[in-house]
Amino acid sequence: MARPSDSSHLSADAVDLPTAAARPAGNGFIRRYSRHKSAVVGAVVLAVIMIACFGASWLAPYGKNQQNLDLAVHGPSLDHWFGVDELGRDYFSEVLYAGQLSLKIGLAVGILATMVGAAAGVIAGYFGRAVDDVLMRVTDLFLIVPGIAVLAIALRGLGQRDTTIILVLSALAWMRVARVVRTQALSLREKDFVVAARASGASHRRVMARHLLPNMLGAIVVNATLAVAFAVLAEATLSFLGFGVETPRTSWGTLLEKASGTVGTPTVYLLYFPGLMLFLVVLCVNFIGEGLRDAFDPGDGER
Amino acid sequence: MSDGPLLSVRDLRVEFPTSGGLLAAVDGLTFELSAGETLGVVGESGAGKSATASALLGLHPREAKVTGSIQFRGQELIGLGDKELRPFRGDRIAMIFQDATSSLNPVLRIGDQIAEAIRAHYDLSRSELKARVVGLLELVGISSPAERADQYPHEFSGGMRQRAMIAMAIANDPDVLVADEPTTALDVTIQAQVLEVMERIKERTEAAIVMITHDLGVVAGLADRVLVMYAGREVELGGVEDVFYRSRHPYTRGLLASLPRLDRRGAGGRLHRIDGNPPSLLEIPSGCEFHPRCPYALVGLCDVSRPELTVVGDAHWSSCHRWQELEPR
């Protein structure tokens, strides 16, 4: 039998058809992303924050917890950009070190929740029927529980280690992704290319992995960024309430908690800086999500 | 290869549950396909052509009920589960779809999509895959195939997408190629090019082709045998010469007479037409389903008794009570 592979010698009397658009492929992703100015700025700012936080051991002007009791508490200055706290610590360095934990938890939850949500959503949407019913009722169940209360109870019971915090926060964050992915899978599974993939012998798992999920990468990524933002904020909330990261370790949430009494006092700047970092990270992550959504669409919105 | 037909379809029924009861999209279809042969399946919209195609690969909607027998090299396919059917799909029996634009995944490069079809069945290295994909694209007449393989479907024109679809279907050198209206969505000029590719495939591979179309011209050019369907039923089956020149069924004759011809014009230059519309599948007429539109229908016979498929010639079948009276033209 003539295998197709040995047919290349055949003179394929190629008829040249006009191409739809002679556009260079490959670098299109970056080009499409860069069209979003806010997304570019967001990526740069987030990168700077991450490098500064995770490289704090080398970049922070002062050591972690390094106290200098000779220093009077004072606000931002040239030596101490974010000022000095009541124990004489450089607050800029403290914020950077605290950011390590906030960012770590935020990113880990974003990734884990997205993976769980995407898997549950694509399975529910693709198979439909009973599978869909069961998975969506479970999703509803997770959506109706009062998040903060469950978190607090769970962390009290399970201990406040980082992995526990990540798992519990992920358990509260995957449902939105699951719902979005399910909706997309419901419409994508009816597409001709899914039938075509099945006709070429693709298994259900392959159809989901190679044909459904890549087609909704945009939606998934946007929701992943939202999950990161949620996790960073939820961790801050928990730590602020005393259920999150335990002393002596710090996150932006614990810094906020410690500074919570400073409103109306001259040291209120201790509240501003962790808050500003949270605000910046969440904002940047959202901008990045928007840029990625458009960049992931190779059809350039014209298909 | 074993003796006997490559593909043998017996009394195939495809039924859909609707609010008005079971709807038989395909009703008692029987045909055989030998290696290397091309069978044209012709009929109006709703005649059950596409339902037949999807049933051949077990790709019918879940709610559809498929009964009868489909044997590939003697192995029964009806009743097999998804897992057992998968080795056949795309490897032994492949399909070309009508609308290449929607049948190609917009976010996968053309080369990767073709490679997917191969990887579903064979474990090849990256370079082997690449070489094979490029060879396939070249075979279907795509110029600079290596660069084209790295492009996305939206960078291809309609005709090129259909060629890519064909390349995907023949990727594993299937024994049976089911082409579901492969030229319908294309311009006439592009149609001709795609048909040329189909003809080349026919010569190059030993695949038997089931060519589903409503275009009798396509059948005349490509098919060895023709199966005519009406309202889910098989009305005539025979060699392309027999069906085109010695048809023994009034519906086939009506179809052929409706073709525009330059040499013989009807009264006032109008095209011949078959009066009436194809019946709703929920209200199939009694007796012969074609009798309300048939100029030869006899009251008391055609509206009461349903004609069976009868041998009317050498490898030529027709389901008409009065086939003997339809003299070859």
Tens digit of pLDDT for each residue in A253-293? Answer: 888 888 888 888 888 888 899 999 999 999 999 899 888 87
pLDDT greater than 60 at residue B2: no
A301 CB neighbour count, 10 Å cutoff = 8
Taking a C-beta distance cutoff of 8 angstroms, is the pair B235, B229 a contact?
yes
Q: What share of chain A is helix, strand, coil (3-state, %, to 5)?
A: 70, 0, 30
Domain count, chain B: 1
DSSP-assigned beta bridge partners for residue B230: B233
- pLDDT of amino acid A27: 60
Grade residue B114 by pLDDT with cuts at 50, 70 and 90: very high
Q: What percent of chain A has pLDDT over 70?
A: 89
* Chain centroid offset of residue B291 CA: 25
Across the beta sheet with B310-313, what order do the strands follow? B93-96, B176-180, B208-213, B38-42, B225-230, B233-239, B316-318, B310-313
> Who among A13, A191, A199 is closest to B57 (CB)?
A199
CA distances from A145 to A79, A150, A165, A226, B256 (A): 47, 7, 17, 20, 68
Q: Which residue has the higher pLDDT, A300 or A105?
A: A105
Region of poorest pLDDT, from A149-158, A268-277, B38-47, B121-130: A149-158
Residue B265 inside a domain? The answer is yes
The C-alpha atoms of residue B312 and residue B316 are separated, in whole angstroms, by 6
Residues 136 through 165 of chain B touching chain A, CB cutoff 8 Å = 136, 138-143, 150-157, 159-160, 165
pLDDT greater than 60 at residue A13: no
> Who among B102, B150, B151 is closest to A193 (CB)?
B102
Grade residue A298 by pLDDT with cuts at 50, 70 and 90: low
Distance from CA of A28 to the nearest CA of B (A): 11
Burial class (CB in 10 A: 0-12, 13-18, 19+), A35: exposed
Residue B224 inside a domain? The answer is no
Which of the given ranges, A78-82, A182-186, B20-24, has the highest pLDDT on average?
Answer: A182-186
Distance from CA of B157 to the nearest CA of A (A): 5
Interface test with A, best of B95, B96, B103, B105 (most A CBs within 10 A): B105
Element (H, E) at B96: strand B93-96
Q: Do A203 and B193 touch (CB under 8 A)?
A: no
Of A104, A117, A75, which Cα lies nearest the Cα of A219?
A: A117
The C-alpha atoms of residue B85 and residue A34 are separated, in whole angstroms, by 46
The C-alpha atoms of residue B110 and residue A196 are separated, in whole angstroms, by 13
- pLDDT of amino acid B92: 93
* Chain centroid offset of residue B3 CA: 24
The C-alpha atoms of residue B58 and residue B36 are separated, in whole angstroms, by 22
Is the Cα torsion angle B50, B172, B90, B227 positive or negative in sign?
positive
- pLDDT of amino acid A148: 77
Residue B283 inside a domain? The answer is yes
Name the DSSP class of A88: S
Of B182, B192, B240, B246, which Cα lies nearest the Cα of B214?
A: B182
pLDDT greater than 50 at residue B233: yes
Name the DSSP class of A210: I
> Who among A20, A200, A211 is closest to B117 (CB)?
A200
pLDDT greater than 60 at residue A8: no
Tell me, yes or no, if A9 comes closer than 8 A to chain B by beta carbon. no
Which tokens sit at B61?
């909607």
Overall average pLDDT of the B120-140 stretch: 93
* Chain centroid offset of residue A153 CA: 25
Tell me, yes or no, if A299 comes closer than 8 A to chain B by beta carbon. yes
Interface test with B, best of A3, A5, A206, A292 (most B CBs within 10 A): A5
The per-residue pLDDT for range A189-239, each reduced to its tens digit, is 999 999 999 999 999 999 999 999 988 888 898 889 889 988 888 888 888
Grade residue B110 by pLDDT with cuts at 50, 70 and 90: very high
Q: Which residue has the higher pLDDT, A248 or A250?
A: A250
Element (H, E) at A114: helix A91-127
- pLDDT of amino acid B3: 60
Give the mean pLDDT of chain A.
Answer: 83
Residues of A in contact with B169 (CB under 8 A): 200
Residue with tokens 């379809």: B9
What domains lie within chain A, and their CATH numbers?
Answer: 29-63+77-295 (1.10.3720.10)
Give the three-class secondary structure for B281: coil
| Pairing outcome for strands B225-230 and B93-96 | unpaired
Residues of A in contact with B207 (CB under 8 A): none
- Nearest chain B alpha carbon to A129: B62
ipTM exceeds 0.90: no
Taking a C-beta distance cutoff of 8 angstroms, is the pair B15, B25 a contact?
yes
> Who among A1, A191, A210 is closest to B116 (CB)?
A210
- pLDDT of amino acid A104: 93
Residue B315 inside a domain? The answer is yes
Residue B105 inside a domain? The answer is no
Residue B316 inside a domain? The answer is yes
The C-alpha atoms of residue A110 and residue B195 are separated, in whole angstroms, by 51
> Who among A5, A26, A296 is closest to B135 (CB)?
A5
Residues 137 through 196 of chain A touching chain B, CB cutoff 8 Å = 191-193, 195-196
Distance from CA of B220 to the nearest CA of A (A): 23
The per-residue pLDDT for range B245-261, each reduced to its tens digit, is 889 999 999 888 888 76
The per-residue pLDDT for range A105-128, each reduced to its tens digit, is 999 999 999 999 999 999 999 999
The C-alpha atoms of residue B319 and residue B288 are separated, in whole angstroms, by 9
Residue B312 inside a domain? The answer is yes
Residue B263 inside a domain? The answer is yes
Instruction: Tell me the residue length of chain A.
Output: 303
User: Angle, to 10 degrees, between the axis of helix A91-127 and the axis of helix A162-188?
Assistant: 40
Residues of A in contact with B142 (CB under 8 A): 12, 14
Q: Do B86 and A203 touch (CB under 8 A)?
A: yes
**pTM exceeding 0.90:** no
Overall average pLDDT of the B97-113 stretch: 90
Torsion of CA B41, B99, B144, A30, to 10 degrees: -160
Residue range of the domain that includes B322: 252-329
- pLDDT of amino acid B10: 93
Of B55, B59, B58, B64, which Cα lies nearest the Cα of B31?
A: B55
- pLDDT of amino acid B201: 86
Of A95, A34, A38, A84, which Cα lies nearest the Cα of A285?
A: A38
The per-residue pLDDT for range A58-96, each reduced to its tens digit, is 888 888 888 887 777 777 888 888 888 888 888 899 999
pLDDT greater than 60 at residue B267: no
Taking a C-beta distance cutoff of 8 angstroms, is the pair B103, B114 a contact?
no
Tell me, yes or no, if A205 comes closer than 8 A to chain B by beta carbon. no
The C-alpha atoms of residue A52 and residue A47 are separated, in whole angstroms, by 8
CA distances from B165 to A197, A198, B36, B103, B130 (A): 11, 14, 20, 8, 17
